[in-house]
Amino acid sequence: MKLKWALLVSLTTLTAILAGCEPLMVLDPKGPMAARQASDIMLLIVLMSFIVIAVLVILAIVLFKYRASKMPEDYEPPHIEGNIWVEVICIGVPIIIVAFLSFVSIKSNYIVESAPTGYEEEPLVIYASSSDWKWHFSYPEQGIETVNYLYIPTNRPLEFKLYSYGPITSFWIPQLGGQKYAMADMVTTLHLAADEPGEMMGRNANFSGKGFTENTFNVTAMSQKDFDEWVEDVYKTADPITEEEFNKLLEPGHLGQMTFTGTHLDFSPAPEHNHGSDGDETEAEHDEHSSHDETNEESDHSGH
């Protein structure tokens, strides 16, 4: 009786605790990439739950049907050959499950790695670079830069160019999509989009030292009109970023939110090595430009 009451109290307490938990951000998507990943997660939860329940039911049936019984000591069970249907189920069902999950995973990977479709405007390019332990966001098109906060327009593709001024970090906005690494000597490309206005949280999802836990940033999604007005306000109120100021920002430590006009890309450009769907083209173009420059330089020397 005491055991039953203890189990009842434990279940009631666990239910009350779980009821107070906030919903997982990855299951509250605000963009098409995150929506695709959330649907995959729910599919996996349903499929795995079905498998676990089926296995537990089969286990209960086997334990009950083939439980020990009072038989003579010299009793020998009959010899039973393998059952072809049992073997087909035990081998075939896992193969089908793995094949299905592989198909879903590969298809989803191509979708979330590609630029989002169905939008009329061109992608907004944002360079997101990390340092110990802060995030720098450069808007080349708008000519502004922010630290530890990100403003983005809704219903417009976003193309993040990720790299690091220190150890490897991981750029992650759970409600917009999956994470991708930012490294010191190359640029990785991450495609995202926000369909709903609102506040979101972003962070570094890769351990990068003692300040890792506070290596976060705030994300605000707004209409294109509000975004344009914010850009205008920045030019009215913010100071220009200088190389000296930027070098101070790179020193290890935590900072609040900061805003500048101009970007550090003018005096501290991103690494030339690009990785991603459009990275090879960029690198090829760079090599082509380099070869043209070398040719022109040789021509100049020949002329002299």
* Cα–Cα separations (whole angstroms), residue 12 to 6, 17, 20, 145: 10, 9, 13, 50
How distant, in Å, are the alpha carbons of 64, 70, 138, 199, 211 from that of 75? 20, 10, 81, 72, 69
**Helix, strand or coil, per DSSP, at residue 250:** coil
Residue 8: how many other CB atoms lie within 10 Å:
10
Specify the pLDDT at position 91: 93
Condensed to tens digits (0 to 9), the pLDDT of residues 240-257 reads: 999 999 999 999 998 999
> Is the pTM value of this prediction over 0.85?
no
What tokens does 300 get?
Answer: 């100049």
Neighbours of 218 (CB within 10 A): 14
pLDDT score for 3: 66
**Percent over 70 (pLDDT), the chain:** 83
How many Cα atoms within 13 Å fall on the side-chain side of residue 247? Answer: 4
Residue 279 pLDDT > 80, yes or no?
A: no
Instruction: Tally helices (H) and strands (E) across the chain.
Output: 6, 13
β partners of residue 191: 159
pLDDT at 19: 52
Q: What is the pLDDT of residues 43-78, one digit of tens each?
A: 999 999 999 999 999 999 989 988 877 888 888 877
* Mean pLDDT to the nearest integer, 21-40: 87
Output b/e per residue, 186-202; b: 16+ Cβ within 10 A. bbbbbbbbbbeeeebeb
